Structure 1
Amino acid sequence: MSQRFLPLSTHCLVRPARKGDRWMLQHFVLELIQSEALGFDFRLIAYRLLEVGGLVLLAALQQWVLMHTRSLPLQSVLMLLLFCTLLWAIGQAGILLFYVLLIPTEPLFNWSLYQVVECEGTLVGCAALAGYDNFYVLYHLYISPPWRRQSLGSRLVQQMIHQAQPTYLVCKPQRCQFYARLGFVGVSWDQLAHPLKAHFKDFERDRRLNGIAWKIMSHSQTSVCIANTPR
């Protein structure tokens, strides 16, 4: 089935991002994080800090027991456990550091995953699409406030997912109607395949621990047919 794209104003176009767009992409993403995801990022950092802290405490306990035992077999087991715990803590700390550095800099390195909306020679919006083995993930959709309500975001999404099937995203409930108009349908956590659960696990944990109603949505040729069926 052919895809009908929403019309664009004559002074606007959607195009792949270029290397020279990196700093504007970073500006857009920081604006998006500040308005939509700052709390989530802080909570995620806090979760991982707690994980690292718990592992450090566990390592300290193992070391204390090691220092107060005289059983050689037990000492050997404790030394192995202590080594594994410290290695795990270092790995988790590295992941945390990488995440903190990635939050503001991701578009500088992954600019080729983005497409932009350019109006009158100025960038006014962007979105990114990452491809995996059997699915795509759409993220960082942002349109500058003065240019909203002109269907620019809708056209950008349409053009990006035209040949990327199936495409998934996560959003807040107030954004669901926007994506539903473009053929996305809601997907429950239990319906997701394991690779998708691994990708969205931080959002699911945030939903369970803090009650944040993150919604996972998918787009495929099947969902487009469903969305276009008269009701």
Structure 2
Amino acid sequence: MRLLLIEDDTALREGLARQLEADGYRVDQAKDGDEGLFYAREYPLDLAIVDLGLPKLNGLTIVQRLRAEGRDIPLLILTARGTWQDKVAGLEAGADDYVVKPFDYPELAARVKALLRRSLKATGDVMTFGPIAIEVGAQVVRLNGEALELTAYEYRLLEFLVRERERIVPKQELADYLYPHGEDRDSNVLEVLIGRLRRKLDPEGTLSPIETVRGRGYRFTLQ
């Protein structure tokens, strides 16, 4: 899962990012509203955590603009303001939930998990493409009803390609998603991973679920 954290307090932002990454998320960081809105528009995200008191562009405006553009990713707002009016303003702008500073990390982590679960249910827990079924909540992939033995990296790769199936995903973007800290970004490693996943999804060689677009990247082809 890829999260965006928009927070101008450097110590808080970097500390939260480390904790979220330790929980298995990939975290993009933005230090002000302009940068945060750019990331939210350009990157494939599963959830954004948005501080309301941001420089350049406040968090409330970010939420309003994203919703006006039809973007439905879960939005969790952070606020140092404790009045009910500020909470209501954030929710009415389109935020899904809020956490009031100061907070303990387990509280924020629980809100993030709840919003992600709700988002997955809203888009359907099971995605079916011909004989391939992906049970998102359980992270199980079935071929003709039989569960496949996928590694964590293989599953993440497949889910990412499926969610981005309307476009060609560049190799570098895939590598950044799979290896956010820079380890094993060699293109040969990615090609081996793609090859293994293809063989597991298409042992008979009749489906061709993952297409290589020469010089551009990969695309999931099944509908």
TM-score category (smaller protein)? under 0.3
Would you tell me which structure has more helix in proportion to its own residues?
1
Higher relative contact order structure (alpha carbons within 8 Å, sequence separation ≥ 6): 1
TM-score after normalising by structure 2:
0.27
Structure of higher CA gyration radius:
1
